[in-house]
Structure 1
């Protein structure tokens, strides 16, 4: 009967959070029975005849007992659990357990992406979730419905089953599912990263998640394409203003607008100095929104290091706001302005501010409508600034004149270790011009390699890792 007692205790703990408990033991039992009869149970209760008959329903008093099981034993237990819940074992799960490597009860990944998980399939997974800790559990596009989502998320929360959970592409979790997810966010000690992309987070779910975030231990939250514009974003930002654990917030593809949404994000930067990465790619922040963000950036003294603004309809006019902010920034290290219509005019606007900025180390200007004129302005910036380590100019029309200026600048600059350029096919009729272009690209590559060696292998590896983490290129292309 140990498992039954355990499950009842779990249900009582859940009830206590929302409604409180009576001191009368019989009253507690009646209350739990009522909740189960209403379909609010989110923990597995097998039929009575199976309670003590199978491994899956037994729980040792030794908290380390389950982690001592072999993967073969866990596979067998999972198959018995499936039989109890009258579902077929998932071949993909058995295959992963068979091929997995278990170190001290921990396995790298449980990948269920694309598997259909109904309620009974979720219940059958309990033996796996309680016996192993996974670095990553992928539940993306598993067609979770309300009861199954609630049950599965409660198990992950109770057993502290994972460090990184991806529950993207599940838009039918229902009220109970969202409440269970909020409980997981709030209570889990292990969970540090949550991916919740391509799921509409409207008013109700936004309020659920936001309340949980006020006291969560999450360090990375990915909410790409979650329809967060407007009231849901306002609710989220309200919680994050006082959050002191979240380091990365990813809000790409949310159609965030240039005034209302950008105003909220500017306020977030004003009050939160813990957030280190803010991704806003593929939104509509535009020039007016960038002004709001810059007003918040000025207050960042210990926080934001990475700001990604790729494809946000920002123009040269928006660079005027950035030009006033760059000289006072102390911590921002990575700035991505790629796929915005900055043009040569925009580069001229921020050129002098970039020269005096002492924090930005990686600047991405991919597909920013820059020609040789803009490249010359950037060469002037490279001569004066000795903090910059990576400059991305791919998908721009930088030809011979720009290459000459950049090559000369790198004879003076000793900090740049990556200058990313597209290989330019020879279109010059004159063979001399074509050879000169090839030579300049080779010189730029060689100069960056020399700077990298001067800085040492440890720092070069660090720069590459940072670039990989934020989707920036990891090599210089100049030939």
Structure 2
């Protein structure tokens, strides 16, 4: 908005937002509108793809723009106009105001599961018009508006209305766009009542005030289940304190992705403080590439045994080293919910691999362990292969498949043999898990109880 400061824009946005009211026409107009709407629906049911294409081309002529070849090709592939089509992908297509207006002839006739406007160079009026259409026609269940930094005040206002009022939209991707004040206000207002269950906000400059605004709304949100906040330059303390409050007060989040930030050990302490109040519910926590060291594991080791539903923990690309793995050892042995543990590129050597082998010998629930891009040689591989003779739950052990240099030449051949043995043992565990699942669902007398604890399925938790 030209001619106004950012604070004035935000104030104007809030005034317009709060003044917006729903009004109803007189009864006779409502009846007339209902009849018109019914007639339109009946007419839409009889439309053919040829009719839709022709109407779109005529609309383009009216708005003096060329028909979008990408849109035309996708419309021609639709098999049924009465069901939702799979996708309308306009990513990378330049959509000015007239191009957006011309798309209404498609949107009034076809609904989609996914609409992508990623990098469509949307400007303010075009974005506002198109998003209003999406709301009116319930056009998408999954919408991607990422990489459209020119949406402006009106575009974000329309997006806010869409999120608040849509009855079908369950996922929004709004990545790679700076979250200025009025955008953060618009999104946060919508999230108070939105039905969204998945929200992607990677690389949105959320650090500081925008994150504070967003978390304020999410504390009261009762629908969102997956939140992706990677690459937002979160700092170690202030931003992490907000994230800790989010975990403390929001009771519905199941997935939180904080990858590629700068949370550090200090920030991890704040996040763990929030986790102490959230012993159930959260299933996936991604903290990869966050400048965390072995010192941060002192905070995580205290809270891990208390987390009753956490199934996936990704600590990859952090300098945990062998010391960090050793600090987590007791907690990982005690935890009975974790199914997947990511430790790729964490500075582990054979010593850390031996510690992980000891964990696997005690933790009989974990199904996947990723230790790629670490310096694990024959000694570490030997320990892991021995652990897999005891552990029958691990079905995937991600390891580097290239042979690494050893001090002794014969140990290279040993590496090759151990990698093959580990692969065979994991395959055997996978077959055992499949047989157990089949026996559990087969009719007839109950199957003989296994000697070891049963594998936890993604929807189950430990006792």
TM range (shorter): 0.7 to 0.9
What is residue 77 of structure 1 aligned with on the other side? 55
What is residue 412 of structure 1 aligned with on the other side? 390
Alpha-carbon spacing, 1:380–1:230, altered in 2? closer, same or farther (3 Å): same
CA distance in 1, matches of 2:45, 2:147: 31
Q: 2:94 aligns with which of 116, 139, 157?
A: 116
Q: 1:197 aligns with which of 158, 175, 184?
A: 175
Alpha-carbon spacing, 1:124–1:391, altered in 2? closer, same or farther (3 Å): same
What is residue 141 of structure 1 aligned with on the other side? 119
What is residue 254 of structure 2 aligned with on the other side? 276
Alpha-carbon spacing, 1:22–1:305, altered in 2? closer, same or farther (3 Å): closer
CA distance in 2, matches of 1:135, 1:207: 27
Give the unaligned 5+ runs of structure 1: 1-14, 29-57, 467-479
Equivalent residue of 1:424, what SS?
A: coil
Q: Aligned-residue CA RMSD in angstroms?
A: 2.3
Alpha-carbon spacing, 1:341–1:243, altered in 2? closer, same or farther (3 Å): same
Q: 1:432 aligns with which of 386, 397, 410?
A: 410
Q: 1:240-279 alignment to 2 at 5 Å? A: 240-279=218-257
Q: 1:18-417 alignment to 2 at 5 Å? A: 18-20=19-21, 61-63=39-41, 65-102=43-80, 104-417=82-395
Q: 1:438-449 alignment to 2 at 5 Å? A: 438-449=416-427
Equivalent residue of 1:407, what SS?
A: helix
Shift, 1:428, TM fit: 4.2
Alpha-carbon spacing, 1:439–1:222, altered in 2? closer, same or farther (3 Å): same
TM-score (norm 1): 0.83
- Paired residues of 1:60 and 1:66 also in contact (CA < 8 A): no
CA distance in 2, matches of 1:448, 1:378: 16
Alpha-carbon spacing, 1:225–1:24, altered in 2? closer, same or farther (3 Å): closer
CA distance in 2, matches of 1:249, 1:115: 27
- Paired residues of 2:49 and 2:81 also in contact (CA < 8 A): no
What is residue 10 of structure 1 aligned with on the other side? none
Q: Which moved more, 1:122-131 or 1:15-24?
A: 15-24
- Paired residues of 2:280 and 2:310 also in contact (CA < 8 A): no
| 1:357-394 deviations in Å (ceiling 9; x for gaps) | 11111000000000000000000000000111100000
- Paired residues of 2:371 and 2:399 also in contact (CA < 8 A): yes
TM-score (norm 2): 0.86
Equivalent residue of 1:63, what SS?
A: helix
Q: 1:423 aligns with which of 398, 401, 413?
A: 401
Count of residues in correspondence between the two structures: 418
CA distance in 1, matches of 2:394, 2:23: 67
CA distance in 2, matches of 1:109, 1:458: 38
CA distance in 1, matches of 2:368, 2:176: 32
- Paired residues of 2:176 and 2:204 also in contact (CA < 8 A): yes
- Paired residues of 1:274 and 1:302 also in contact (CA < 8 A): no
Shift, 1:104, TM fit: 3.0
CA distance in 2, matches of 1:66, 1:124: 18
CA distance in 1, matches of 2:308, 2:24: 56
Shift, 1:424, TM fit: 3.2
Equivalent residue of 2:357, what SS?
A: helix
CA distance in 2, matches of 1:206, 1:392: 36
Alpha-carbon spacing, 1:458–1:131, altered in 2? closer, same or farther (3 Å): farther
Alpha-carbon spacing, 1:270–1:72, altered in 2? closer, same or farther (3 Å): same
| 1:245-267 deviations in Å (ceiling 9; x for gaps) | 10100000000111111101111
- Paired residues of 1:222 and 1:249 also in contact (CA < 8 A): yes
- Paired residues of 2:403 and 2:416 also in contact (CA < 8 A): no
CA distance in 2, matches of 1:126, 1:24: 24
Equivalent residue of 1:79, what SS?
A: helix
- Paired residues of 2:202 and 2:230 also in contact (CA < 8 A): yes
CA distance in 1, matches of 2:370, 2:24: 65
Q: 1:444-455 alignment to 2 at 5 Å? A: 444-455=422-433
Alpha-carbon spacing, 1:77–1:162, altered in 2? closer, same or farther (3 Å): same
